[in-house]
Amino acid sequence: MSSPLLPDLVDSLLAVPGPLPIVSAGDPVLRRPTEPLGDRLDRRRLDRLIEAMRETMRAAPGVGLAAPQVGLPLRLAVIEDAAEVSEEIRQVRGRVPQPFRVLVDPSYEPVGAGRAAFFEGCLSVPGWGAVVARHQSVRLRALDERGRAVDELFTGWPARIVQHETDHLDGVLYLDRAELRSLSSREALSSTWAQPTPLAAAEALGFDLDDGAHA
């Protein structure tokens, strides 16, 4: 039996009102490279899908959502971050507000050699977090929802979001890049490892951070 066509998959998702179901780790759709958007969805379907993804991301809540996380093998993601954090965390992690944005067919490349390691989570791996070292700055190339070219430099936490969501589109979960000795429950993250950096966790849990991780 052939797989459903993409428009039919989108229609079935949008047939039920409210936030879309988020796919959890273990579903093959999260491990398959996605297909470019191109002209595979008409404007009306695409607009409705983007709005549903925004609603789902906000309800979760999260700072990004990729199409595979709602079961669609499509190179599409949305990001948004109010960055409602303390000034210390804002400074240490480079976490600054990001407006709602749509990334169509995105790719990124590192800018410079700087890397930063922080705890990270994922809506498709609920209840857990782990330390991931990522590029401190990346150059994002993509299209927006109207097909306009995006070529932009992201640094700090926004760069982390871009990398995390683009990874989803390549079948990569954050756990593939994580220091697994740092894997911690949501409860441990909030009660024990809520510091701006993971240095205390690294010492207590027995994993290494490279010297340049927080440069």
Q: Which ranges in the chain belong to alpha helices (H)?
A: 6-14, 43-59, 87-93, 156-168, 186-191, 199-205
Q: Which residue among the candidates 165, 179, 187, 203 is catalytic per the annotation?
A: 165
User: CB neighbours (10 Å) of residue 165?
Assistant: 23
Let me know if 145 is a catalytic residue: no
Q: Does 214 appear as a known binding residue? A: no
Residue 103, φ and ψ in degrees, nearest 5: -115, 115
B/e letters for 85-111, b = 16+ CB within 10 Å, e = fewer, are: beeebbebbbbeebeebbbbbbebeee
Whether 124 contacts 204, CB under 8 Å: no
Whether 117 contacts 214, CB under 8 Å: yes
Q: Does 135 appear as a known binding residue? A: no
Q: Which residues belong to the annotated binding site for Fe cation?
A: 122, 164, 168
- Just list the catalytic residues: 165
